[in-house]
Amino acid sequence: MDYQAGSFPLGRIFGIPIRLHCECSLVASHCCLLGVQQHNPDTFSTPCTTGLFLLFLVLQVLASIRPNSLWPLYWFLILGPILLVTVLLHELGHCLAARSVGGTAHSILLWPLGGLAYIGSHNKGPKADVWVAVAGPLTHVPMTAFWVLMLLVATYVAYGTTHITLVWPAYLTIHNLGVAVCVGAVVLNISLFAFNLLVPAYPLDGGRILVGSLLSCGVAVRTTALITCGLAVPLAIGIIVFGGRSLDFVHYMGAH
């Protein structure tokens, strides 16, 4: 399957072509609508197609100019540029790690399920595979540190203190919008780090780490495949079930 069909180029970073899939707009717009309607039930809620996505974003940002209606702008920032940049840096981690072990990085695709790094093979063995897989989640460590630092600054500007908490402001204003955005970015990075590193379901990063680790320890390929499948199937079912409830998390984020 050609996952790059329906995508358009964004440019190059370190010589690696970056592409964005058009369907990202459908997912982001739907999540934005749920998050916004949690606080502004009367806001613009016409179902969005890809062609209307930019119009949707413009309307939501303009709507946030009104008093007590900054949640559209908050969700636009979290599910728009912040999420895309976070996923992009994650995939760049994979690409640069692949290059460091003699592999190649062909391109990166940002699509509704996250990101795809198109990486060429190398001959350094399973330990190198583990390093390439781990490098993606590890990018969330400096990103989390960055957003914690920004949260310190935003909290001081908004409240005159450096005492920070990962709690969304009860009432969103222009003064504490930066605090809310930084909290959302920190939670986003911690969640992606934990999910990618700790869920051993192939082809997720955790599954690739598991496969590489088993092969590095001398486990037979067939046994490794059976273990991987045995874990991946129930985890996949769990992820599907979680996906059905994931939109509730958007409400949870918005309600705190």
The residues that are catalytic are 91
Helix ranges restricted to H, 48-176: 53-63, 71-77, 83-100, 126-138, 140-159
> Residue 14 is encoded by which pair of tokens?
């370190």
**For residue 160, what are its two tokens?**
């005159």
Encoding tokens for residue 212?
């590489």
Q: How far, rounded to the nearest angstrom, does the alpha carbon of residue 18 sit from its chain's CA centroid?
A: 16
Integer Cα distance of 125 and 39 in angstroms: 51
Closest by alpha carbon to 92, among 136, 134, 147, 122?
136
Query: Could you give the 3-state DSSP secondary structure of residue 54?
Result: helix
From CA 173, how far away is CA 81, in angstroms rounded?
Answer: 21
Q: What is the CA radius of gyration of the chain?
A: 20
Q: Are 193 and 144 in contact (CB under 8 A)?
A: yes
Total count of residues recorded for the chain: 256
3-class DSSP assignment, residue 139: coil
